[in-house]
């Protein structure tokens, strides 16, 4: 056998192993048989003193809203998960993840995804990855009026989220909406909003059985916003006003099979 063929076989073996680990991770987290293992890793996104102060003041309980939201929504679909998630706040990371490509071609996106996963692996400082751990890198930015944050993202392969958040204690609860949104992306949920951020009807609306024109007081988490009685697109104040809709529940495996498992005591 030639050296070239040996190299190809090794590469194919590595790709198969990576694919197997990805499948195993997704099977573990989407089985909902144990609390989700979530690590929040803060990063100073703009180098500001305000972001530095916010990070120094962070505590694990600042993210309790997310666990309570998952537990409440799992219960709506028949599950009894207490707790639904174990969220650990890790020390601040002093390196930023690779930025996504400005031109979203398939090849560039795939290459960036590989770079991100390699970057996450290097940051772990471990030889073997922690299977099933969801890594949420939260980049804090000092608020700048009129300047929106960069787009946050969550990817299934590697269970990685990169979240841009405001370095403002008054924004903690809305930051948690964005974090929960990207967290569910890592479990397979898709966006439920269209151009301009408007929810897609019906799947992007809480209570999708109601007419589209009916005002909502809650938002579907993967839409992230609701249309109020005045017809305005608004972000709810906290996860208390967010729900996991039927389509999202199906995508993350909180579906009929989930309910039957708990009903049977399995």
188 in helix, strand or coil? coil
For residue 212, give Cα distances in angstroms to 161, 209, 216, 229, 236. Answer: 31, 9, 9, 12, 18
Please, which pLDDT band fits residue 101 given cuts at 50, 70 and 90? confident
User: Between the CA of residue 10 and those of 6, 17, 110, 112, what are the distances in Å?
Assistant: 6, 10, 21, 23
Over the stretch 182-234, which tens digit does the pLDDT of each residue have? 999 999 999 999 999 999 999 999 999 999 989 899 999 999 999 998 889 99
Q: What is the pLDDT of residue 53?
A: 97
Res 154 pLDDT > 70 = yes
Q: To 5 degrees, how large is the angle CA 176–CA 181–CA 184?
A: 125
Distance CA 219, CA 109 (A): 29
The pTM of the full predicted model, rounded to 2 decimals, is 0.88
pLDDT value of position 188: 93
Q: Say which residue, 109 or 255, is predicted with more confidence.
A: 109
Mean pLDDT of the chain: 87
User: What confidence category does residue 172 fall into, taking pLDDT thresholds of 50, 70 and 90?
Assistant: very high
Percent of the chain beyond pLDDT 90?
Answer: 61
- Assess whether pLDDT exceeds 80 at residue 55: yes
In contact, 148 and 51? CB cutoff 8 Å: no
Identify the CA nearest to 46 among candidates 185, 127, 140, 124. 140
Statement: residue 20 has pLDDT above 80: no
Question: φ, ψ for residue 133 (rounded to 5)?
Answer: -85, 130
Whether the per-residue pLDDT at 11 is higher than 60: the answer is no
Residue 93 pLDDT > 60, yes or no? yes
Tell me the average pLDDT across 147-162.
Answer: 92
Number of H helices, E strands in the chain: 7, 9
Which single residue is written with the structure tokens 């019906």? 202
pLDDT band (50, 70, 90) for residue 22: low
- CB distance 166 to 156 below 8 Å: no
Q: What is the CATH code for 3-191?
A: 3.40.390
Average pLDDT over every residue of 82-87: 93
| pLDDT at residue 6 is higher than 90 | no
Which band of pLDDT confidence, cut at 50, 70 and 90, is reported for residue 160?
very high
Kindly report the backbone phi and psi dihedral angles of residue 177, in degrees, each rounded to the nearest multiple of 5, phi listed first.
Answer: -65, -45
What does the pLDDT read at residue 265?
55
pLDDT at site 110: 81
Q: Is the predicted pLDDT of residue 99 greater than 60, yes or no?
A: yes
Mean pLDDT of 37-46: 97
Confidence of residue 103 (pLDDT cuts 50, 70, 90): confident
């Amino acid at each position: 056998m030639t050296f070239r063929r040996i190299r190809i076989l090794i590469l194919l073996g590595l790709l198969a192993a990576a694919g197997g680990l990805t499948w195993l991770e997704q099977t573990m987290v989407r089985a909902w048989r144990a609390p989700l293992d979530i690590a929040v890793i803060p990063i100073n996104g703009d180098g500001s003193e305000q972001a530095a102060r916010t990070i120094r003041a962070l505590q694990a309980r600042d993210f309790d809203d997310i666990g309570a939201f998952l537990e409440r929504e799992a219960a709506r679909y028949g599950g009894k998960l207490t707790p639904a998630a174990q969220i650990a706040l890790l020390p601040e990371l002093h390196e930023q993840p690779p930025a996504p490509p400005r031109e979203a071609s398939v090849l560039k996106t795939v290459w960036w995804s590989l770079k991100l996963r390699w970057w996450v692996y290097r940051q772990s400082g471990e030889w073997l990855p922690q299977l099933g751990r969801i890594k949420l890198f939260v980049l804090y930015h000092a608020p700048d009026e009129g300047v929106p944050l960069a787009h946050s993202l969550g990817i299934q392969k590697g269970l990685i989220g990169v979240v841009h958040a405001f370095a403002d204690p008054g924004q903690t609860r809305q930051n948690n909406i964005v974090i929960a949104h990207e967290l569910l992306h890592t479990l397979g949920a898709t966006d439920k909003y269209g151009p301009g951020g408007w929810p897609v009807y019906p799947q992007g609306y809480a209570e999708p059985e109601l007419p589209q024109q009916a005002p909502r007081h809650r938002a579907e988490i993967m839409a992230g916003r609701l249309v109020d009685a005045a017809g305005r697109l608004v972000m709810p104040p906290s996860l208390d006003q967010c729900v996991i809709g039927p389509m999202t529940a199906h995508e993350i495996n909180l579906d009929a099979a989930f309910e039957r498992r708990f009903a049977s005591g399995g």
